[in-house]
Structure 1
Amino acid sequence: MGQHKNERILNKRMHLAFYTGGTIGWSVVLSILLYLCIVLLLGLLVYREMATSDVWTGLLLFLVSLLSALALARSLVTLRQNQTFWRSHKQQQNEINLLRMLVNPLVDVLDKARLHEEATRQLSTILGYDAVVLLTLEEPGEGASSAQSLLVHAVSSTSTPLSWRSREPNKLTSICQAGEETTINWHIQRVAQFDTWMRQQRVSLITFFPLLYHGKKLGALGVARCSGSALSMSEASLLRLYAEQLATFLEYARLYEEAHERQVFAQALANIATRLNAAAIELGEMNQLICDEGGHALDADYTIFYLPDEKREKLVPLTCWDKEQERVAPSTIWPELSVQEPDGQTFFDLQARLVHLERADAVSVCKLSPTRSDVSPPDKAACGSVQKGVLRNALWQCGVNSAILVPMMAEGEPIGLLVFARRQSAGRQRRAFSVFDLPHAQDFSEQAAVAFTNARLYERLRNAHRRLQELDQMKDQFMMTASHELRTPLTAVQGYIELVVQYGDVLPPEERADFLEKARRGCDELTMLLSNVMDASRLERDVIIRPALLKRVSVSEAFESVTLMIEPNLTREKRELHVQVADDLSVQADPMRLRQVLLNVCVNALKYSEPGTPLYLSASVYQAPGAVVSIDVTDRGKGIAPEDQELVFQRFYRLEGDVNSPVRGSGLGLYISRRLIEAMGGKIWITSSGIPGEGSTFTIQLPMA
C-alpha cells in the first residue's frame, strides 16, 4: 500500500515534466528526418556528378558533402546538448515549483509550534515520506544545566504528530550540533522516546539535513521511508533547499516570539505605570493587578504574591493569578512559607531565583547573576539540586516544570515575594523559564514594588484621614457628653447647697449631713471627670509615668482603697462585693495610678450592670516568661460584644452613645486605663461573650514584685 502511494505521488510530481519531455522528443525526430533527407540529397548529387563529370569536379562535390556531413554531426551534438540542458532546466523549474509549493504555506506562520507542525506535515503529505522529524535546538539555559535542550516534533503517515523535549545530551543532539548532512541506519541509539517512535513507524534508514542560518546551527530535518530506500539526487537537492528556507523561517519565528514577549512585557509595565498615576487606587486592586500583569508579562501559568506576617516569620499568599481561571483564592492551593525554607529564604536573598522541577524528589535552582547586563547560562556554581518544600510540592502537583521567585524591594528592604510558574502542557511543549527571563522578572518586581508601596501609602493615608474624621466626630460627641456630664454633678451640688443655705436652720442634722455628703460626692465625680480629661490630654503628648515612680504595691491594699471609694455605691445599690486575693501578693506599679485604673474599671462595671448584682475582685499569679499578677474585675452586666472589646479602649468611645443615656461617662476612662497600664509594663483586656447577664471580666496584668 505504501509503495502504491509513493508511485502516485511520484507520478504527480513528474506530471509537470511529461508534456515538456514529449515535446522535446518529437523535435529531435523531426530534426533527424530533415538532416537525413539533406544527406540523401547530397549523396545522390555527388553520385550523379561523379558519373557524368571529371575527377576534379567530383572531388569538389565530395568535399562539399563531407563538410555538410560534419555540419550535420555538429548540429546533432548541439541538439543533444541543448536537449540535456533543457531537461536540466526543466528539472530545476520543477524543483523550484515544488519547493514553492512546500514553502508557501510557511511564509505567514510566525508561531513556532504551528511552524513545526506545518513544516513536517508538508513533507509527509506532498512528498510522501513515511516519517518526518524536525529537531530544533533551544537556547542554553532553558534547562537546569548549560547544555542545549532539544525539541523534537515527529510526524508519520500512520499516527498522530508527537512533540517532546529532551534535556539530556544524546545522538539527536549530536546530529544537530554537527551541522552536516548525514544518513543513519537507526536501530538502538539510547534515545528512549525516539527509539520507540522509530520502531512504531517501521523505519530504520533516516537522512538528516542541517538547519543553518548564517552559520548558526538551529537543528536538523530528518526524513525516512518504510521501504528503506536511499534518497535520489533530486530529492536530496530539493530537501537541502527546503532546509535552508525552513531555517530562515525558524529564525524569523524565534525573533518574532522574542519581540512579542518584549512587547507584552513593556505593555504590562505600562499598565502598572498607568495605575501609579491614578488619583486613587485600592490596595487590594493593586495586589490583584500585580499578579495579573505579572502573569501576562512573563507568560506564566501561575502568579503568586506573598507578603510577610507581622513577625516576618512566615510568608502568606495574598493574591494569585491562574491563566485558565484568571483569579482563584490563594489559600485553596498555595501554602504559607516559612522563611527558614529554601523558597522562603529568597525573600531575604535580594536576588531572583530560577527553579526547575525535574524530578518528584528534587529541583534545580539557579540565581540571577549580580551583573544583570551580562546574563549567561547557569553553571555548576550557580545551580544545585535541593529537596522540595511545600511550595514546590504544590507547584509539582499542578504540573509546573519551572518557576521564578523574585523578592519585591522598597528602600532596600524586602516587602513581598512574587512567584511566576510555567507548567508542562499536555497538548503543547511550552518553553520553560530560563536565566534569560530573570532580568524581566526583576524589572517587573521593581516596578510592582513601587506600585504596591504607593497603594499601601495611599491606603494608610486614607485610613488616617478616616480615623481623623472619626476622632472629630468623637470629639464633637465628647463635647456634648462632657457638657452634659459636667452639668449633672454641678446641678446636684448647686441644688443641695441651696437647700442647706435656705433651710439649714430647720433641717434636721441627719438630713443636712446627707445633703452635704451628696454635694461632696458630686464634687468628687466632677473632679474625676476633669482629671480624666487632663490625663487624656497629657497622654497624647507623653507618658506620664516615669520609672522612678514604680514601686512595690500590695494588691490587697489597692483593693481596700478602691473598696472604700465605691462602698457608698455598693450600699446604695445593695450589691455584694467578693474579694479574693493573698495578703502578700504585690506588683510593680505606680500606687496612685494603679488605684486610678482600678477605680475606673470598678466604676465602669457598676455603671453597666444592674443594681443588686455582685462585683468580683480577684488576683492570682501567672507564670509567664516572667512571673506576672493577673487582677480580674468581673461584673454580671449585659456584657460587651467581641467586636466592641477593642473599641472601648479608644478615646471618646462609649457603648451608650446617646447623651440622654442613664449611663454617664466621658468615654476616656478605659482609654486612660490602658495607657497607664501599658506605661507600667502591663496589659489590660476584656473577656466577654456579649450575652446579657453573663457580664464582663476586665483583666489587668502587671509584673510581680
Structure 2
Amino acid sequence: MLKKRTGVDLLQALTSGALVCGLDGRIVYANPALGRLIGAAAEQLAGNVFTEIVQPPVKVDCALCLGLQSGDISEVHSGFLKVFTQNGAVEELKVKIKHSRLGEEGVLSLIDPFSEDTILTQAHTDFVSTVSHEFRTPLTSIKGFADTLLHYGAQLPDEEKRRFITIIKDQADRLIRLVENLLAASRLGASRMDLSYRPIPLKKLLEKVAQSIQAKALSKTKVQRVFELSVNPESIELWADADKLEQVFINLMDNAAKYSPADKPVSVKAEYLPEDDGLVRVVVQDQGAGIPADLLPRIFTQFYRVENPLKQEVEGTGLGLYIAKSITGAMGGQIWAESTPGKGSAFTVVFPAATPERQAVHRHRLHAPEDEG
C-alpha cells in the first residue's frame, strides 16, 4: 500500500487531513495535516481503528465508519473528528469526509473541517427537511379526516364523527407545539429572552407538568403514564422564571416519557445539593433503551434525535433538549445527561434555590436608583 514514494509525498503536502485504512478499518497512514486537526502526532495514529478517530455519522450507511469489515463505503458524508486539546480533553469537530477505494488494498479518506458557510447551509437543509416532515404528518391527518367528515359525515355514526374530530384536534395541538418550539428556538438563537425571577414551589410545578403530560398521553394512546415524584424537602423553591422553568421540565419529562416503555414509570427526584444548599438538583430518570456514550455530546444540539428501537417513530423535531439546555443556562443553571444502553437515561438539572439572600439582592436591584453603579 502506497508503495510509490510520490504517493506519500503527495499526501504529505495536502492541506486536507488524509487517512489510509486497510479493509479491516485499521489506519496504516495519517498525514501531518490530520495530525494538526486532531492535536496529535500523525505517526501516533497508525494502528488505531478508523472509528476511534472519526465518530460514525448519524444515519449514514458507511461500512468503514460503522466499523464493518465488508459492505458499501459511502463516497462523501459528514462525521465528527476527535480533537485532543492541550489540557487533555477530547472534543468533537464536525468534518466532511470523502472516501476513495485503493483497489483491494484499502481506503483513502480525505477529511476537512466544515466551513462556517457549509455549516449554515447544512443546518438550513436539516431545518427544512425536519420541519417539512413534522408539518406534513399532522397536516395529512387533519386534511384526511376533515375530507372524510365533509364528504361522508352524514353517513357516519356520532361516535365515529367524535373520534375523527378528536384526532383533528390532537393533530392541531401537535402543530401548535411544533410552532411554539420553533419560535422558542428562534428567540434563543437571537438571544432574545426576557426573564422574570421569583420563588417557584418546585413540587407544585412538577405535579402540574406530570398531570399535563399524563392527560396528553391518555387522550392519544389511552395509556396512563406514571411519574414517581420525590421532592425532599417538599418546601423547596427555585429562583427562576416560572414559564421558562415549566418549559424546561415539560421538555425533559415529556422526552423521558416518549423514550420509555409505556408500562415503566419515569422517576423525578429533587433535593438540595449536599455540598451547597443554595443549589437544587433535579434528576429525571427514564427506563428506556439508553443512549450510546458517543452520542451523548450531541443530544442537546438542534434537531438531533436518538433513534428509539421501541418505536417506529418518535414525534418531535429534536428541539426539546436544545431549548431545555439554552433556557437552563440563561437562568444560571446546569444540565447534563448520563446513560447506560439498555438501562435508561438520567437528565440532571441544577438550579439556584430561592434563598433569602437571592431574594434580597433582587429586591435591592428593583428599588435601586437607575444611575446607581
Q: TM-score range by the shorter chain?
A: 0.5 to 0.7
Given candidates 133, 139, 158, the residue that maps to 1:484 is 133
Residue 568 of structure 1 and its aligned partner are, at CA, apart by 3.2
Matched, 1:665 2:316: yes
Matched, 1:583 2:234: yes
Aligned residue number for residue 455 of structure 1: none
Aligned residue number for residue 295 of structure 2: 644
Aligned residue number for residue 612 of structure 1: 263
Change (3 A) 1:681 1:591: same
Greater length-normalized contact order (CA 8 Å, ≥ 6 residues apart): 2
Given candidates 591, 603, 616, the residue that maps to 2:254 is 603
Matched, 1:553 2:207: no
1:593 match: secondary structure: helix
- Check conservation: 2:227, 2:266, Cα contact below 8 A: yes
Deviations 1:597-628 (A, max 9, x none): 11111222222222222212221111444521
Q: Tell me how far apart the structure 2 counterparts of residues 628 and 646 of structure 1 sit (CA, whole Å).
A: 24
For 1:652, the aligned partner's letter is F
Aligned residue number for residue 212 of structure 2: 565
Change (3 A) 1:282 1:699: same
For 1:627, the aligned partner's letter is G
Aligned positions of 1:259-298 closer than 5 A: 282=33, 284=35
Aligned residue number for residue 540 of structure 1: 189
Aligned positions of 1:141-540 closer than 5 A: 282=33, 284=35, 465-466=114-115, 469-470=118-119, 472-502=121-151, 511-540=160-189
- Check conservation: 2:214, 2:224, Cα contact below 8 A: no
TM-score norm. by structure 1 comes to 0.33
Given candidates 322, 327, 336, the residue that maps to 1:685 is 336
For 2:190, the aligned partner's letter is R
Q: Tell me the number of residue pairs that the alignment of Structure 1 and Structure 2 aligns.
A: 256
Aligned residue number for residue 674 of structure 1: 325
Greater Rg over alpha carbons, structure: 1
Change (3 A) 1:528 1:522: same
Q: Tell me how far apart the structure 2 counterparts of residues 286 and 651 of structure 1 sit (CA, whole Å).
A: 25
Residue 474 of structure 1 and its aligned partner are, at CA, apart by 4.2
Change (3 A) 1:575 1:542: closer
Aligned residue number for residue 282 of structure 2: 631
For 2:330, the aligned partner's letter is A
Q: Tell me how far apart the structure 2 counterparts of residues 603 and 482 of structure 1 sit (CA, whole Å).
A: 19
Residue 486 of structure 1 and its aligned partner are, at CA, apart by 0.8
Q: Tell me how far apart the structure 2 counterparts of residues 279 and 577 of structure 1 sit (CA, whole Å).
A: 54
- Alignment root-mean-square deviation, CA: 3.5
Q: Tell me how far apart the structure 1 counterparts of residues 15 and 214 of structure 2 sit (CA, whole Å).
A: 60
1:696 match: secondary structure: strand
1:553 match: secondary structure: strand
Deviations 1:87-114 (A, max 9, x none): xxxxxxxxxxxxxxxxxxxxxxxxxxxx
- Note the residue ranges of structure 2 that are not aligned, 5 or more in a row: 1-13, 17-31, 45-85, 87-110, 355-373
Residue 678 of structure 1 and its aligned partner are, at CA, apart by 0.4
Residue 695 of structure 1 and its aligned partner are, at CA, apart by 0.7
Q: Tell me how far apart the structure 2 counterparts of residues 700 and 605 of structure 1 sit (CA, whole Å).
A: 14
Change (3 A) 1:622 1:477: same
1:653 match: secondary structure: coil
Q: Tell me how far apart the structure 2 counterparts of residues 286 and 645 of structure 1 sit (CA, whole Å).
A: 22
Residue 539 of structure 1 and its aligned partner are, at CA, apart by 1.4
Q: Tell me how far apart the structure 2 counterparts of residues 286 and 642 of structure 1 sit (CA, whole Å).
A: 23
Q: Tell me how far apart the structure 2 counterparts of residues 631 and 287 of structure 1 sit (CA, whole Å).
A: 36
Change (3 A) 1:286 1:561: closer
- Check conservation: 1:637, 1:696, Cα contact below 8 A: yes
Greater fraction of residues in helix = 1
Change (3 A) 1:615 1:508: farther
Identity across matched positions, percent: 32
- Check conservation: 1:478, 1:667, Cα contact below 8 A: no
Change (3 A) 1:285 1:677: closer
Change (3 A) 1:287 1:639: closer
Q: Tell me how far apart the structure 2 counterparts of residues 513 and 663 of structure 1 sit (CA, whole Å).
A: 26
Deviations 1:249-296 (A, max 9, x none): xxxxxxxxxxxxxxxxxxxxxxxxxxxxx96774955999xxxxxxxx
- Check conservation: 1:654, 1:667, Cα contact below 8 A: yes
Change (3 A) 1:655 1:467: farther
Q: Tell me how far apart the structure 2 counterparts of residues 699 and 655 of structure 1 sit (CA, whole Å).
A: 18
Q: Tell me how far apart the structure 2 counterparts of residues 604 and 287 of structure 1 sit (CA, whole Å).
A: 34
Residue 531 of structure 1 and its aligned partner are, at CA, apart by 1.6
Residue 518 of structure 1 and its aligned partner are, at CA, apart by 2.8
Q: Tell me how far apart the structure 1 counterparts of residues 251 and 237 of structure 2 sit (CA, whole Å).
A: 20
- Check conservation: 2:268, 2:285, Cα contact below 8 A: yes
Deviations 1:378-405 (A, max 9, x none): xxxxxxxxxxxxxxxxxxxxxxxxxxxx
Change (3 A) 1:287 1:524: closer
Given candidates 263, 272, 282, the residue that maps to 1:621 is 272
- Check conservation: 1:474, 1:652, Cα contact below 8 A: no
Q: After superposing the two structures, state which structure 1 stretch, 469-478 or 632-641, moved more.
A: 469-478
Q: Tell me how far apart the structure 2 counterparts of residues 674 and 683 of structure 1 sit (CA, whole Å).
A: 8
Residue 696 of structure 1 and its aligned partner are, at CA, apart by 0.6
Change (3 A) 1:622 1:686: same
For 1:495, the aligned partner's letter is G
For 2:239, the aligned partner's letter is Q
- Check conservation: 2:214, 2:225, Cα contact below 8 A: no
Q: After superposing the two structures, state which structure 1 stretch, 665-674 or 605-614, moved more.
A: 605-614
Aligned residue number for residue 159 of structure 1: none
Matched, 1:594 2:241: no
Residue 639 of structure 1 and its aligned partner are, at CA, apart by 0.5
TM-score norm. by structure 2 comes to 0.59
1:664 match: secondary structure: coil
Q: Tell me how far apart the structure 1 counterparts of residues 191 and 240 of structure 2 sit (CA, whole Å).
A: 18
Matched, 1:702 2:351: yes
Q: Tell me how far apart the structure 2 counterparts of residues 479 and 607 of structure 1 sit (CA, whole Å).
A: 24
